[in-house]
Chain A
């Protein structure tokens, strides 16, 4: 009952200023709904771009890079008696192959965080049908492994990924390439590398969300590419690795690199541009939201200052009849909290409403049919928490002022 009277006074003051209270609460509502909407949109967009990235990039790619020459061999040859320096180190051109890929795979198999792996060999290629030619990259893969990793099946518009298993000379091509070279399932396509040329049969056509992939990428069996490159049957250029939590890719990559000695690249480092875009989006959204919340905070600050200015005699009376500083603070902080809580609840509802309607808005630009919007409880909870904290702070400052009112000065008049 002791604090009940603070609540009652706070509530009465707010009801007495219904209009300003509603306006102040709507300020919070606006801030919180924007917070929720922007965060939902940005998270949705980030998830969408991430999904797009991961549909073409493995979490981790392991390959053999050209190495810069170092003094290790020299030390071995000359011994430790001399200090060996290479004055103008050069990149050592290499075969770029992974030596003994099956051993590497077995080694990696022991890691619990890895959920799938796929070895492959790829090269630049010229596709041609009669006289028309197109550049691109051909990927020699174990199609079942790749399908598990990138869900190629879901992007197939003609044929089946399994067709490669039965047809050693089969090739799965993108829809863009199919149009440019006027190819249908069952047609023949000629692929020419720097060293060899072969004719393959189109067994399937896929359509991804990325245009360049549809125009240039093709899948075939590993031996086809090995033959095009005139390499032996153990020639493997890359191992693709997917792990349980792809945000842990950098740490896992680091440890794989140390274990195997091969160069390891994460999806994050191969998509730095897009991830920079994510950062920028976050910064923009946060500045907008902070601005709105500050404005909403000023709304609350303002109304409380007004109430305190108007009620200064009553504050003096309350102090005269025995209200202490902290009681006065709680009267005004409670008002701010009421405003903040009402505003935040409305803000969550409105924020959901805006997010929902925008997610139903047809965009139809490129692969984006509808704006990607995430509906995550954490945005709503965060929004409400921010709203209430902002309100509290905006109320606390004037409340302190009210608590310092000297009743003698006011009552003396």
Chain B
């Protein structure tokens, strides 16, 4: 099995308000096609770790490899280009662009990537929305649909460039149990059928239990690699 993500001795300090070690010597590997949950109490450093893994936070020591590429030390612009092509994100507060339609929201990362023609991108975006069960909402403004639907549109956006890795920071944190179940199933399907690597931070123990593997954190350290 090939490795999708490798973290070695990740340390991170916050200097304000006081010097505080948010991550200490975090090391682990995740295989391609794995569906991994990161759990732990509030304040244990889950989000901090995910932002390092997502390449958005570059202020850490240690080494991060994604898709067999060394990420640590790359410049912001090349990291942005890497995220655009290889990573998908889903946030707790779905963060769609409210001025655009759902369809356009999904198309934006692909238009940024610029590999396909406009009509191909539009077709793919429609396909993704249909796959996630929100095909009907495609032309509605992103601000005019329900929270559960917004989260599914956000997942469609995360998938539009066919990234190898999908990351989520409490993607179900704002959803009711029915929608949480829907999102879980989507993630599981993506891992099983599309061989995507899924890494989600979650509070939800049921959600974590059902995933392939749990990484548990406390005080910035990994205490369990189940």
A residues sitting closer than 8 Å to B (CB atoms) are 1-2, 4-5, 8-9, 12-13, 16, 313-314, 316-327, 407-408, 411-413
Interface centre among A13, A321, A326 (most CB of B within 10 A): A321
Selected contact of A321 from candidates B112, B117, B169, CB within 8 Å: B112
Q: Is the CB of A320 within 8 A of B89?
A: yes
Selected contact of B81 from candidates A8, A320, A322, CB within 8 Å: A322
Q: Which residue of A lies closest to B110 (CB)?
A: A5
- Contact A322:B114 (CB < 8 A) given known A314-B97, A317-B95, A412-B51: no
User: How would residues 65 to 88 of chain B score, 1 for a CB under 8 Å from any chain A CB and 0 otherwise?
Assistant: 000000000001100111111000
Q: Which residue of A lies closest to B118 (CB)?
A: A1
User: How would residues 87 to 128 of chain B score, 1 for a CB under 8 Å from any chain A CB and 0 otherwise?
Assistant: 001010101010110001000110111100110000000000
Query: Which residues between 19 and 54 of chain B lie within 8 Å of chain A, taking CB atoms?
Result: 47, 51, 54
Q: Which residues of B contact A8 (CB under 8 A)?
A: 104, 111
Q: Which residues of A contact B81 (CB under 8 A)?
A: 322, 324
B221 at interface by CB-CB < 8 Å: no
B152 at interface by CB-CB < 8 Å: no
B residues sitting closer than 8 Å to A (CB atoms) are 47, 51, 54, 56-57, 76-77, 80-85, 89, 91, 93, 95, 97, 99-100, 104, 108-109, 111-114, 117-118, 157, 169
Q: How far is the CA of A317 from the CA of B97 in the complex (A)?
A: 8
Q: Which residues of A contact B51 (CB under 8 A)?
A: 408, 411-412
Q: Which residues of B contact A318 (CB under 8 A)?
A: 97, 108
Q: Is the CB of A322 within 8 A of B57?
A: no
Q: How far is the CA of A369 from the CA of B6 in the complex (A)?
A: 85
Q: Is the CB of A322 within 8 A of B109?
A: yes
Q: How far is the CA of A391 from the CA of B77 in the complex (A)?
A: 26
Selected contact of B95 from candidates A2, A16, A408, A411, CB within 8 Å: A411
Q: Is the CB of B113 within 8 A of A322?
A: yes
Q: Which residues of B contact A411 (CB under 8 A)?
A: 51, 56, 91, 95, 169
Q: How far is the CA of A320 from the CA of B76 in the complex (A)?
A: 11
22 A–B pairs (Cβ distance < 8 Å), ordered by A: A1-B117, A2-B111, A5-B108, A8-B104, A8-B111, A12-B99, A13-B99, A16-B99, A313-B95, A314-B97, A317-B95, A320-B56, A320-B83, A321-B84, A321-B89, A321-B112, A322-B82, A322-B85, A322-B109, A327-B112, A411-B169, A413-B93
Q: Which residues of B contact A2 (CB under 8 A)?
A: 111-112, 114
Q: Is the CB of B111 within 8 A of A325?
A: no
Q: Which residues of B contact A314 (CB under 8 A)?
A: 95, 97
Q: Which residues of B contact A317 (CB under 8 A)?
A: 95, 97
A-B contact sample (13 more), CB < 8 A, given A2-B112, A8-B111, A322-B82: A1-B118, A2-B114, A5-B108, A5-B111, A9-B108, A12-B99, A317-B95, A318-B97, A321-B109, A322-B112, A325-B80, A411-B169, A412-B51
Q: Which residues of A contact B57 (CB under 8 A)?
A: 408
Q: Which residues of B contact A326 (CB under 8 A)?
A: 77
Selected contact of B47 from candidates A9, A327, A407, A412, CB within 8 Å: A412
Selected contact of B77 from candidates A9, A12, A324, CB within 8 Å: A324
- Contact A319:B80 (CB < 8 A) given known A5-B112, A13-B99, A408-B56: yes
Q: How far is the CA of A316 from the CA of B97 in the complex (A)?
A: 11
Q: Which residues of A contact B47 (CB under 8 A)?
A: 412
Q: How far is the CA of A314 from the CA of B105 in the complex (A)?
A: 11
Q: Is the CB of A321 within 8 A of B77?
A: no
Q: Which residues of A contact B56 (CB under 8 A)?
A: 319-320, 407-408, 411
Selected contact of A322 from candidates B84, B95, B104, CB within 8 Å: B84
| Nearest Cβ on chain A to B210's Cβ, whole angstroms | 26
Q: How far is the CA of A282 from the CA of B47 in the complex (A)?
A: 62
Q: Is the CB of A321 within 8 A of B108?
A: yes
Q: How far is the CA of A4 from the CA of B100 in the complex (A)?
A: 15
Q: How far is the CA of A316 from the CA of B109 in the complex (A)?
A: 13
Q: Is the CB of B114 within 8 A of A1?
A: yes
Interface centre among A322, A326, A407 (most CB of B within 10 A): A322
| Nearest Cβ on chain A to B89's Cβ, whole angstroms | 6
Q: Which residue of A lies closest to B111 (CB)?
A: A5
Q: Which residue of B lies closest to A403 (CB)?
A: B76
Q: How far is the CA of A2 from the CA of B104 in the complex (A)?
A: 15
| Nearest Cβ on chain A to B37's Cβ, whole angstroms | 20
Q: Which residues of A contact B108 (CB under 8 A)?
A: 5, 9, 318, 321
Q: Which residues of A contact B83 (CB under 8 A)?
A: 320-322
Q: Which residues of B contact A1 (CB under 8 A)?
A: 111, 114, 117-118
| Nearest Cβ on chain A to B171's Cβ, whole angstroms | 13
Q: Which residue of B lies closest to A316 (CB)?
A: B95
Q: How far is the CA of A407 from the CA of B91 in the complex (A)?
A: 12
| Nearest Cβ on chain A to B100's Cβ, whole angstroms | 6
Q: Which residues of A contact B169 (CB under 8 A)?
A: 411
Q: Which residue of A lies closest to B48 (CB)?
A: A412
Q: Which residues of B contact A16 (CB under 8 A)?
A: 99
Interface centre among B51, B80, B81 (most CB of A within 10 A): B80
Q: How far is the CA of A24 from the CA of B68 in the complex (A)?
A: 50
